Amino acid sequence: MTSQFYGLCYHYIRKESNDPFPRIFGTKINDFNEHVKMIQKKFEVMSLDDLQLFYKQKTDAVNKKKGIIFTFDDGLADQFEAAKILYENNISGIFFIPTCSLFDNVPANPIILHYAIAIHGLKKFLGEFGKYFEKYDISEKPLFMQNQEIIQIIENLKGRRNYEEKKASKLGFTSLYAYFEDKILKEKKANEESKKELDEIKADNKSKNKQEKSCSCC
């Protein structure tokens, strides 16, 4: 029995070609097969029984090789290919199956998100996701949809946070995030308008200079 071990976790095991969802990144079947061969040479591949013995410390034998255990999350159909490769190499792994797949006949929420993004692309997905928040009047966006610049501004407020919260509330904003988001958008719009005016002035001056140079009176 090994004196220590690593846990190696896999999710998607994808086809080599003709993948209908190329945006879903996972381990290719051939690559997984190579992983197994390499790991068998360098590690002691453990089973669930080995893992139980390890924690119960029912053996004093220590293998010079470090142990490793294959684990698979989310109960994906992809993983059936991985199970066949493990079986062919006379080793086993631990497969964690979400109960929603068994009792509700639906995949786990992260899998739904992965495939939605894979089919529609991130930009469209976030756009539709944002509409959902507006439809149900959810003021606080999830962290992954929030502007990190605004998050940093709020974190840096420190002692001024209470003052800014009162100011935001007085102006009708439901949160500090919404207040600073609006403020940044207004500043951005003002900068764009200022730049546009400056570009127009430069264009007018350039046009006048051309007219002066083309004058035949000199």
146-199 residue pLDDT tens: 677 887 888 888 888 889 888 988 888 877 878 888 888 888 888 888 888 888
Residues 3-9 have a mean pLDDT of 85
Examine the domain organization and report whether 69 and 130 are in the same domain.
Answer: no
Q: Give residue-wise pLDDT tens across range 118-137.
A: 888 888 887 777 777 666 65
Same domain, 156 and 122: no
How many residues can be counted in the chain?
218
Cβ contact 126:145 at 8 Å = yes
Phi, psi of 173 (to 5 degrees): -90, 140
* CATH at 57: 3.20.20.370
**Which phi and psi (to 5°) does residue 81 adopt?**
-65, -40
Mean of all residue pLDDT scores within the chain: 82
Question: How confident is the model at residue 181, as a pLDDT?
Answer: 84
Query: What percent of the chain is modeled with pLDDT above 90?
Result: 22
User: From CA 68, how far away is CA 44, in angstroms rounded?
Assistant: 6
The whole-number pLDDT of residue 201 equals 83
pLDDT score for 36: 95
Count other Cβ atoms within 10 Å, centred on residue 86. Answer: 19
For residue 174, the enclosing domain spans 142-213
Q: Is 10 helix (H, G, I), strand (E, B) or coil?
A: strand
Can you state the angle between helices 176-213 and 161-170, rounded to 10 degrees? 80
Residues 12 and 90 in one domain: yes
Chain-centre distance for alpha carbon 3: 35
pLDDT of residue 49: 87
Q: 161 and 126, same structural domain?
A: no
Distance between CA atoms of 174 and 140, rounded to whole angstroms? 9
Q: Is the pLDDT of residue 24 over 70?
A: yes
Structural domains in the chain (count): 3
Residue 138 pLDDT greater than 70, yes or no:
no
**Shared domain check, 93 and 9:** yes
**More reliable by pLDDT, 87 or 16:** 87
Confidence of residue 33 (pLDDT cuts 50, 70, 90): very high
Identify the residue with better confidence: 62 or 193. Answer: 193
- Say if 218 falls within a structural domain: no
